[in-house]
Structure 1
């Protein structure tokens, strides 16, 4: 079974690639989780973050944005002492700031989904990369997303992080064309939007 070249043989990584990466996400709670985790990943490997993901879910109240937005300095200190997390003060404080900015976006747009998906016109982009080396680190869309998020008070949302977020949440299908998931996701997306138009 062919997979994207970036996948290792780690079972956690395989499961993430095979079941999650590139699948369109429309649930606000899940979108918030991925936004935080992509920011946490900055400067680290994604596998490092995956291995700590369950710890983050527990420590950050299931990524409930309303609860995270209410964290105070004492809670930040508690998180910094948690050995199951990446204990970087800037990243933990950014998660709290992002939760507050996230809630403001939800209030303005009705949902974070309606806001974030506008950067691809509401429809997942189907790319056609033959090799992982062809996949860009950022795009015009991720730069526009980054700029707008920063203006709204979000942190750790540079263009590269935004593009990784877009890939992870299925805003773009960046599985290479030789990967078995490329066709599965493409066909599922085309079927979904075909029925939606009907």
Structure 2
């Protein structure tokens, strides 16, 4: 049996996410915004629930295009509250709109969401070597800094724990346990991703 991180269980959707996505360095602004949105939506829910709704989020929120979402009206929020394909929580839905507006200000200031978010790990994936899941932190000083910076720009549902889960997901940190077959593969991807000439 292929050795994996214990959290991914046996659901095929979860296994694919673990094997193909989790920890792979992401530098595409749209994808980064999508993952930040999904991590915020997860608060109080299981990640598997969110994975099952990911296509619903893409359809409901214009493929997670910040420029379009930033212009959403109260009528759009009301429409989204009736959409069973997403988490129908008014605060979470409103936060996507507010966060999209925050992304636009970041783009104006720094040119890319990628540059803004990756600064918190000095633009280089951090390679960890945890031997068991209970060693993996739920937040770090880097996620504290990211959370504080995003909140300062008006973002919500970006607490330090959410930010760290996001950092794990988009490859800012390699938190596959060393016994997982993906640990070494992600480390190699991270080495290439951290080199600006490799993008």
TM-score (norm 2): 0.96
1:140: which partner in 2?
Answer: 141
Secondary structure at the residue paired with 1:6? helix
Kindly report which structure 2 residues correspond to 1:1-198, keeping only aligned pairs within 5 A, or say none.
Answer: 1-193=2-194, 196=197
CA RMSD of aligned residues (A): 1.3
Structure 2, unaligned runs of 5 or more: none
* Preserved contact between residue 125 and residue 173 of structure 2 (Cα < 8 Å): yes
Distance across 1 between alignment mates of 2:55 and 2:66:
16
Deviation at 1:190, TM superposition (A): 2.1
Distance across 2 between alignment mates of 1:93 and 1:189:
34
Secondary structure at the residue paired with 2:6? coil
Distance across 2 between alignment mates of 1:177 and 1:41:
26
Structure 1, unaligned runs of 5 or more: none
Pair 140,62 (structure 1): closer, same or farther in 2 beyond 3 Å: same
Distance across 2 between alignment mates of 1:26 and 1:192:
9
Q: How many pairs are equivalent?
A: 197
Pair 58,122 (structure 1): closer, same or farther in 2 beyond 3 Å: same
| 1:92-136 superposed Cα distances (whole Å, 9 cap, x missing partner) | 000000000011001100000011100000000000000011000
| 1:145-167 superposed Cα distances (whole Å, 9 cap, x missing partner) | 10111001000000000000000
Runs of 4+ in 1 over 3 A off after TM superposition: 191-197
